[in-house]
């Protein structure tokens, strides 16, 4: 699950788009409009930070290319929420996120992040869990 603070930076836009693509609950906090958090708008911004490879080999590269293609006809969208102004509204936000999660993602062992083959297998598993398995 993810909470993004705004959607205007390229890095936040890319992370938000990939969360949506992977079926992760996502709420964007701040003054973002529905258009600002649309998958196509997030893709436009994300592509200025992370380019898709012409011939991706690793699962993460195939996932990026597929997420960009998916954004043209997404089956998920982000919600824009005002920033919580009280502990009660913050609790409501967290409860909303927790209710929307279908299944837990596999827990990542820190060694996985530094070994390319382990990382690739982890990404492939995440894509498969969200029915985004790559050919």
The tens digit of pLDDT for each residue in 19-73 reads: 889 888 788 888 877 788 889 999 999 999 888 898 988 998 988 999 999 999 9
* Residue 113: inside a domain: no
- Expressed as residue numbers, the domain containing 27 is 2-101
pTM score > 0.95 for this model?
Answer: no
Q: pLDDT tens digits for 74-95?
A: 988 888 888 889 999 889 877 8
Residue 76 lies in a domain: yes
Count of domains forming the chain: 1
In contact, 32 and 6? CB cutoff 8 Å: yes
Does 61 fall in a domain?
Answer: yes
Beta-carbon contacts of residue 122 (< 8 Å; ≥ 6 apart) = 106, 108, 112
Tell whether 130 is covered by a domain: no
Is 62 among the domain residues?
yes
Identify whether 91 is part of a domain: yes
Quote the radius of gyration of the chain (alpha carbons, Å): 15
């Amino acid at each position: 699950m993810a909470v993004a603070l705004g959607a205007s930076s390229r890095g936040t836009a890319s992370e938000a788009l990939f969360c949506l693509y992977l079926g992760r609950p996502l709420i964007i906090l701040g003054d973002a409009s529905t258009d600002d958090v649309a998958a196509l708008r997030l893709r436009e911004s994300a592509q200025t930070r992370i380019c898709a490879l012409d011939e991706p080999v690793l699962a993460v590269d195939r996932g990026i290319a597929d997420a960009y293609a998916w954004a043209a006809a997404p089956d998920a969208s982000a919600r824009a929420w005002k920033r919580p102004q009280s502990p009660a509204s913050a609790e409501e936000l967290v409860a909303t996120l927790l209710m929307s999660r279908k299944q837990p993602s596999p827990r990542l062992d820190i060694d996985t992040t530094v070994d390319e083959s382990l990382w690739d297998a982890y990404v492939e598993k995440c894509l498969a869990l969200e029915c985004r398995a790559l050919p």
